[in-house]
Structure 1
Amino acid sequence: MFPSMIAGFALSFSLILAIGAQNAFVLRQGLRREHVFALCLTCAISDAILIGAGVAGFGTLAQAAPWFETVMRYGGAVFLTWYALRSFWTAWQGGSVMEADAGQRSSLKAAMLTVLAFTWLNPHVYLDTVVLIGSISAQYSDRLGFAIGAMTSSFVFFFSLGYGARILSPIFARPRAWQILDVVVGIVMMAIALKLVIM
């Protein structure tokens, strides 16, 4: 079981490591120290559900319902574009730190809805977790161990990202750093949205 767990952990971690909409949002909330535990837990559980579905053999959903991928792709692109524009506007206004200084903390409901949208409206999440991890797990006799390893990596990654962001707090004590982060987040979101439309 142990070799399969290590393989699943390594594959999942390598896939999730690349910066994306979900990771950028968790990082931002970690720096703001807002709803970190709930967001990290939601991301990790969502990944675990998708990984479980992939390993259990539900990676054929896109083949069974061809429209599903198109709806998810364009829906995700619209949402990412909206969030990118919001990030650019926040940067123009002085950065997220200005919101925090003004007491404009995001509500738990708003934060949860945002991270759920980043997770479940992103077709790449399905390709990475359901399709890719699901298909590779078929190569292992111990698929359960592989799935446990892959799920564990999501928990390790998201909680490390969310709470590890505090190490960067001294850098983000300056409003300019928040403005730069908001611009970077906006660029990442727009790039992913564009990629979804032209893929």
Structure 2
Amino acid sequence: MLESYLTGLVVCGGIIVAIGAQNAYILSQAIRREHHWWSAGICMVADVTLFTLGMFGVSAALMAMPEALELLRWLGVAFLGWLAVQAFYRASRGRVALEAGEFTKRSLKGVLFTTLAVTLLNPQVYLDTLLLIPAVGAQQENATTFVAGASSASILWFGLVAWGGSALAPVLSRPTAWRLIDGVIGLMMAGIALQLAFSGL
């Protein structure tokens, strides 16, 4: 059982770290200190739910409906592209300009909606949580313990991103650092969108 748990923890931890869109968005929210724990919580709940569904056979249904993944692919391209444009716009104006004008905290509802969109409109999330991870879990001695390990990895990682971004906010919120972070976030979002558009799934 312990081996299954550790396998889930390590394998899923590596996969979660590689899903850049969620990480970049939560980090930006944490630096802004803008409902970042709610965003992290949404990602945790989504991962735990998808891990569990994947282990119970939803992956087979997903493979039987490739058109659903194709639709998600292009929705993801459009949404991630929009987030990239927003990040580049913020980077071009700089933090000072935002504070003087449009930088006002968004509502919790708006943040939750965007977090759900970043999570659910990225087809890579489904491929990882519903296909790849269950494929590894199926080889484990105890599937339930494997899911527990995978869920622990998600909770630990997103908690770390939310806490770390908030703790470093005084340093990372400086005008130059903020522009650099927004620029990197924009590049990550644009890169993922272009990869989805030209390389497919």
TM range (shorter): over 0.9
**What are the equivalent positions in structure 2 for 1:56-95 lying under 5 Å apart?**
56-95=56-95
**What are the equivalent positions in structure 2 for 1:13-24 lying under 5 Å apart?**
13-18=13-18, 20-24=20-24
TM-score (norm 2): 0.93
CA contact (8 A) 2:30 2:169 kept: no
**What are the equivalent positions in structure 2 for 1:108-119 lying under 5 Å apart?**
108-119=108-119
CA gap 1:50/1:182 in 2 versus in 1, 3 angstroms: same
CA contact (8 A) 2:19 2:125 kept: no
RMSD (CA atoms): 1.5
**What are the equivalent positions in structure 2 for 1:20-169 lying under 5 Å apart?**
20-95=20-95, 98-100=97-99, 102=101, 104-169=104-169
Give per-residue Cα distances to partners, 1:33-52, cap 9 Å, x unaligned: 11122111110000011111
Give per-residue Cα distances to partners, 1:23-68, cap 9 Å, x unaligned: 0010011111111221111100000111111111211233211211
CA gap 1:19/1:168 in 2 versus in 1, 3 angstroms: farther
CA gap 1:173/1:125 in 2 versus in 1, 3 angstroms: closer
Aligned residues: 198
CA gap 1:35/1:67 in 2 versus in 1, 3 angstroms: same
Q: Which runs of 5+ in 2 are unaligned?
A: none
Range with greater deviation from structure 2 (112-121 or 18-27): 18-27
Deviation of the 1:18 alpha carbon: 2.3
The amino acid that maps onto 2:182 is: D
Q: Which runs of 5+ in 1 are unaligned?
A: none
Separation of aligned partners in 2, 1:166 and 1:110: 19
Range with greater deviation from structure 2 (160-169 or 130-139): 160-169
Deviation of the 1:70 alpha carbon: 0.3
The amino acid that maps onto 2:135 is: S
Identical pairs, percent: 37
Deviation of the 1:167 alpha carbon: 3.5
CA contact (8 A) 1:32 1:100 kept: no
Separation of aligned partners in 2, 1:4 and 1:49: 19
The amino acid that maps onto 1:3 is: E
Range with greater deviation from structure 2 (160-169 or 144-153): 160-169
TM-score (norm 1): 0.94
CA gap 1:19/1:63 in 2 versus in 1, 3 angstroms: closer
